[in-house]
Structure 1
Amino acid sequence: MNILIIGTGYVGATTAMVFAESGWQVTGLDVDADKIERLRQGRLHFHEPGLEDLIAKHVHSGRLLFTTDKETAIAGHDVIFICVGTPSRPDGSADLRYIQQVAEDIGYLMNGYKLVVTKSTVPVGTQEQVKAWIEAAQRQPHPFDVASNPEFLREGKAVEDALQPDRIVIGTDSAKASEQLLTLYQSFQCPRIITTPRTAELIKYASNAFLATKISYMNELAKLCDEFKVNVNEVADGMGLDPRIGPSFLQAGLGYGGSCFPKDVSELVMTARAQAVQLHILEQVMEVNRIQPTYLLDKARSRLGDFANKNIAMLGLAFKPNTDDIREAPALRMIHQLLLEQANVRLFDPVATLPAHSSSYEAVTVCASVEEAIQNADAVILCTEWAAFGQLDWENLKGLLNQLNFFDGRNMMDARWMRGIGFYYQGIGND
């Protein structure tokens, strides 16, 4: 089977790599000519460790091709994965315009049986909509199946998750579609769940919403830990040893961000509201996450008196390490507030950059190194736990600062050691 991947963003590029690595012939289709040209050269348009090397490997072998010619691509492939974006609308619901456009293109251009697989994260019931859009766009009545096959990728660890998945979820009512997808994934050693399309779609949302809930729960608990002078990291260690809880996603900090958790939690809440169901817990999860960055800013403001004309060094912009993704990054919200309060913000991130063509952050000084960012700083705020930040010699670097104030939004540093070398150190729940 030759595979067509429509959409070559984070999910699409990773999916293309996975199937090429598994021995299949794969073509990536996108309307963005610049993106396609980069991929044809084996270069990624985003940062994801290890992925570019594998893309380049299969481009050079000829197993992985890229094109902007949708007519030839759709006609020439029997298995088509939809990997386009599903951004949130202003009200928090999913915008399916790109899914609909792809479905209509497939319907209009198909020339025989097609297995259409939705890999994008979509609301419950989308598989049925995709089927209807394809049928309505057909010029001739060709047979097809539509299945759901959600992705479970972590940004920064997409290669590991893609090549060694912890489960494969396939949602389809078609025995033919199920058989084809199982064949595509035959080399993977992990549980396979064959279920209905609606169940598969909900598994994806429910998984991310539950992980977001764990994060917000620990962030709430961290505030109580501060009051009791208890270290939230030790509490998390004790909790995580219970196999019913596990250690993952128990790290307190500035809150979650990125392209998945904020969008998926919001869209699940809106999906429920459309069915007259209120998901009270998830509504509170979103609220806790919304206000979490202000918690550390309040501590910094209390220490400094105010931010006006203070030099604030921001370390980290990406919502997590090993990615350049700044969507819904807590650092952006903090920078916005600091600028409102007339602070002088100096920023360093080893990979991520501020939004292009945005006037909101023109007053931020973007620095080429940590040393440049912290020069004459009245406070350092660590927003992203890049490993390099923890490897720095802070005892020698402290001479660059105007005041030795360090606010650790990820509880990355050893509080006792930082205080021992002279810093006023404040994390989140780690006194």
Structure 2
Amino acid sequence: MADRVPDPGTGLRPLRLRAMMTQEELALKSGVGTRTVRDIESGKVRPQPRTLRLLVAALGLGEPDRATLTGTTGRFAVPRELPRVITAFAGREAHLDSLLTAVDDGASIVAVDGMAGIGKTSLAVRAAHALASRYPDGQLFVNLRGFADADRPRPDLASVLARVLRSLGVEDQGLFPGVDELTGRYRSAVAGRRVLVVLDDAANAEEVEALLPGTTDSLVLATSRRVLSPLAGACSVPLGLPPMWEAVAMLAAAATGRISEEEAVLVADRCGRLPLAMGLAMARFRSRSHWRAADLLRRLEDDDRLLDELDMGRRGVAAALNASYLELDAAHRRLLRRLALVPGGDVDARVAAVRCGIDDKRAASMLESLADVHLVETRSPGRFRLHDLVRLFAARLARQEEADSEVDEAYLHLISV
């Protein structure tokens, strides 16, 4: 929702008088011309965003008075769209510091990527709240649903731009412009302003690129399950699994004193240290006041039931992974399913090739593609592995979608290598 505040032309004079300054003194202190100050006070001109910032600094305004000068001028609004910060959020301090340092060093685009459920949105929202005061002309939060399920289709670019323009107070002129015109309006609306834009769950770098302001005065925080390295000029913050000590801290913060450190280690291990899985496990635990941690652990010990225990409909782990899976073509889906049936840890292109009946070069390329959407992990060149929960998810799909004869044949080929 956007704040609606009075026209700056009607508010500057009382604020100047309260600061006991003449127009000339305010002009000298702010670096704004005396005539400009006079014209703003008389309502002859509307101040530009940069002029407003100079006046705010010169007058030493607090937030209530600042809104008078930085809010809507009859054309623009000041959106405040950031979701709430999770009060029990713990961990990720190193990633948060890295992100804030990048902005301090001048980054205007920061891209956070990682697997489904890794905590990208939580990190971006936490950072956005920490940075919000630096961007007084508004904070936008846009859920691009790049990896949405079938029941919640992703919005097209034109509808996203139209929604953002409404948030910025750009009047609907009753037209149905194309994407190019909407993009031009958007970049015109934010030009010269300091706006923070969170683009959550982007499908790819191209989608983020289309929504970038034309100047570097604003900041864009983008999150995606896909690596956003093609995004020119972006500072990349890859988000991996938290170390065990940080996972334990996350669980302790969510369990409100009902779990020991040793028990938290066991829960974190069963959840693969995936923040979404740990959050869902703790949500179930909190809803059962009579449970002990041992009761929760008993429910998490069966691999065949684990994904069901971490299921809350659209918010479940399986649902999150399925949204990533559905973005793959048939060949990559088949490879992921077959990888889940390979015993042991890491695999290479040769094993993947045998599993799918393709050549090594093709298998290597497909494995890299799966790594780009964080459905496989790579810790050393040419070696790939599945996260424990991804393995359970893909193995379940293999049992559902693969013919037994095909799986058996692939297995026989594997052991003969």
TM-score, length-scaled by structure 2: 0.26
Structure number, greater radius of gyration: 2
**Structure with the larger helix share:** 2
TM-score, length-scaled by structure 1: 0.25
Instruction: Answer 1 or 2: higher relative contact order, Cα 8 Å, separation at least 6.
Output: 2
**Structure with the larger strand share:** 1
